């Protein structure tokens, strides 16, 4: 389970499509293909199947679909597709952007969670005001009329359109990892019994000195229950840990509410952390406190223990959270660890497109060993595409085969396997290559090359290359011009 699982979607794509009824009209078919290709590329970058919501896929009935607002509010990133339809004042795109900024864009400063893809030559002065300064990914040709890049090019990284899809996926994944780390560093400290305010301040200081951030939950007099729960849900979504301090007396319940202030906060936090067990502490000052409710099954419940013990537990929990975020969950992300080192670049500013792809078949435990291999290739403009390891088998197989079709060479990394496992990996890849009629350089990377098992390994359709001869294979696969 990845640390952004409490968000329903990784990316919300907003596209102005009102009045365009059929996929073959205007840009609808282009945007459908764009979303499909972006899903494949982003899945490869995240190491799991990317969850992308496209508003055009919802039914058009003249009103905002019931689930559209919820989808906007539960997405990590927002991608505005700029076209004449999306910039109209009455377009739903304005509403979607405003909702996203209100709910989730505060995780990172300066709208770093908002991206822009321009598919029609619409000047920034006509865009919704909040995104006018964001540098777009321009899917426009160099011709005088700046026509949209061909839809069929989206599938090929070597074209301008395909390269932009790849570059966008890289930057989306990078920002997603930064969000994940920000959440891991954040603690939700909700409304606290007045008798425990000093202890709450002590916890806030503790987190601050350890480089974390604290979101202080509050109750606003006269606030409705629904507004309070909605605000609490937004706050707790931004945190990786939730700590609830309950006094010995009865918790206050505003008139007409179904539960107390603290009770609703605990219930809301329980819904948030059911995907991440042991990220929630409920501390009772009294040993005789009543503890019940399904939301507590996700929590560490303490009754009558010393405050120092609870404080120590929070420190340990926070430290574990930070360590987990620094390596970023999921085996694939070891290869992309360096990408999350800074979040200072503005959305739309990307590193150079790496249009040469090499499919590297390996097992999860060997990903860290491939770090030096990856760096050597990236210095030559070549990007590694490891397989997906997460998700159901059918999805993994489909996406891995899509990755394979976009690559110019394939490597089986022997790594920690035995010779039978390496043979099976070669056989599986060879079958996929035959299925799609792909003829590309193929190699087994032996590291260390002097290991007796590896020295005698043989698969007829793959050549053996020790790591010391990597450059020879790269030149064969991609040409000496690199």
Give the residue among 242, 262, 243, 240 at the shortest CA–CA distance from 251: 262
- Is there a common fold for 9-182 and 354-478? yes
Q: Where are the extended beta strands (E) located within 33-90?
A: 52-54, 75-82
Between 5 and 331, the higher pLDDT residue: 5
Length of the chain in terms of residues written: 482
- CATH code, residues 9-182: 3.40.50.360
Q: What is the CATH number of domain 354-478?
A: 3.40.50.450
Angstrom CA distances, 226 to 74, 188, 231, stand at: 17, 19, 9
Instruction: pLDDT band for 335, please (50, 70, 90 cuts).
Output: very low
Topology of the domain covering 186-305 = Rossmann fold (3.40.50)
Q: Which of 34-43, 216-225, 339-348 has the least mean pLDDT?
A: 339-348
Whether residue 482 is predicted with pLDDT greater than 70 in this model: the reply is no
Mean pLDDT of the chain: 83
pLDDT confidence bin for 336, thresholds 50/70/90 = very low
Short-list 449, 436, 372, CA closest to 410: 436
pLDDT at 383: 82
Confidence check: pLDDT of 201 > 90: yes
Inter-residue contact 204 to 214 (CB < 8 Å): yes
What is the helix, strand, coil percentage profile of the chain, to 5?
45, 15, 40
Cα 435 to its chain centre, rounded Å, is 31
What's the first-to-final CA gap in the chain, in angstroms? 39
DSSP states of 120-171 as a string? S---GGGS-GGGTTSPPEE-B-SSTT-PBPPGGGGG-TTSHHHHHHHHHHHH
Instruction: Report the pLDDT value the prediction gives residue 51, as an integer from 0 to 100.
Output: 94
Nearest to 385 by CA among 440, 466, 463, 423: 440
Q: Angle CA(143)–CA(171)–CA(479) in degrees, nearest 5?
A: 70
| Backbone φ/ψ region at 150: left (φ over 0), alpha (ψ -120 to 50), beta | beta
Residue 56 has pLDDT above 80, yes or no: no
What percent of the chain has pLDDT above 90? Answer: 39
Assess whether pLDDT exceeds 70 at residue 424: yes
Query: What is the Cα–Cα distance from 48 to 390, expressed in whole angstroms?
Result: 5
Q: Where are the domains of the chain?
A: 9-182, 186-305, 354-478
**Alpha-carbon span 280 to 244, nearest angstrom:** 8
Select the more confidently predicted residue: 403 or 460: 460
Residues in Cβ contact with 45 at an 8 Å cutoff, skipping those fewer than 6 apart = 169, 170, 172, 173, 336
Residues 64, 65, 70: CA angle, nearest 5 degrees: 100
Segment 33-57 shows an average pLDDT of: 89
| Structural Rg of the chain based on CA atoms | 25
pLDDT tier at 354 (50, 70, 90 boundaries)?
very low
- pLDDT at residue number 285: 86
Kind and range of the H or E element at 301?
A: strand 300-303
Q: Which of 411, 321, 295 is nearest to 360 (CA)?
A: 411
Q: How far apart are CA 420 and CA 49, in angstroms?
A: 29
The whole-number pLDDT of residue 18 equals: 58
| pLDDT-wise least confident of 135-149, 328-342, 393-407, 461-475 | 328-342
Q: What's the whole-number mean pLDDT along residues 145-171?
A: 90
């Amino acid at each position: 389970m990845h640390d952004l699982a409490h968000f329903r979607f990784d990316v919300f794509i907003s596209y102005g499509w009102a009045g365009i009824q059929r996929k073959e009209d205007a840009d609808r078919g282009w945007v459908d293909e764009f979303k499909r290709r972006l899903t494949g590329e982003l899945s490869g970058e995240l190491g799991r199947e990317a969850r992308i919501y496209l508003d055009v896929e919802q039914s058009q009935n003249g009103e905002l679909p019931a689930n559209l607002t919820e989808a906007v509010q539960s997405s990590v990133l927002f991608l505005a597709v700029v076209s004449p339809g999306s910039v109209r004042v009455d377009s739903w795109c304005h509403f979607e952007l405003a909702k996203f900024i209100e709910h989730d864009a505060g995780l990172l400063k300066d709208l770093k969670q908002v991206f822009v893809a321009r598919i029609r030559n619409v000047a920034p002065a006509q865009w919704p005001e909040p995104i006018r300064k964001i540098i777009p990914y321009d899917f426009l040709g160099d011709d005088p009329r700046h026509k949209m890049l061909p839809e069929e090019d989206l599938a090929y990284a070597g074209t301008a359109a395909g390269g932009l899809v790849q570059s966008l996926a890289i930057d989306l994944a990078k920002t997603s990892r930064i969000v994940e780390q920000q959440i891991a560093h954040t603690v939700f400290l909700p409304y606290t019994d007045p008798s425990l305010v000093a202890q709450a301040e002590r916890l806030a200081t503790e987190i601050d000195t350890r480089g974390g951030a604290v979101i202080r939950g509050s109750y606003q007099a006269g606030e409705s229950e629904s507004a309070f729960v909605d605000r609490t849900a937004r706050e707790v979504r931004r945190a990786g840990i939730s700590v609830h301090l309950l006094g010995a007396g009865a918790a206050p319940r505003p008139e007409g509410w179904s539960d107390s202030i603290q009770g609703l906060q605990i219930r809301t936090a329980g819904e948030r952390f059911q995907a991440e067990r042991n990220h929630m502490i409920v501390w009772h000052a009294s040993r005789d406190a009543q503890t019940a409710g399904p939301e507590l099954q996700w929590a560490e419940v303490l009754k009558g223990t010393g405050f120092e013990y609870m404080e120590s537990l929070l420190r340990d929990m926070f430290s574990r959270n930070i360590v987990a975020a620094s390596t970023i969950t999921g085996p694939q992300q070891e290869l992309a660890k360096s990408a999350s080192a800074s979040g200072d670049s503005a959305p739309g500013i990307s590193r150079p497109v790496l249009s040469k792809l090499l499919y590297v078949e390996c097992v999860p435990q060997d990903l860290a060993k491939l770090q030096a291999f990856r760096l050597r290739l990236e210095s030559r403009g070549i990007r590694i595409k490891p397989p997906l390891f997460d998700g159901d088998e059918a999805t993994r197989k489909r996406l891995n085969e899509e990755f394979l079709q976009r690559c110019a060479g394939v490597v089986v990394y022997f790594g920690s396997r035995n010779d039978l496992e390496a043979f099976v990996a070669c056989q599986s890849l060879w079958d996929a290559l035959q299925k799609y009629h792909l003829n590309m350089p193929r190699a087994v990377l032996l590291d260390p090359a002097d290991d007796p098992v590896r020295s005698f390994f043989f698969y007829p359709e793959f050549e053996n290359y020790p790591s010391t001869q990597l450059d020879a294979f790269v030149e064969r696969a991609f040409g000496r011009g690199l």
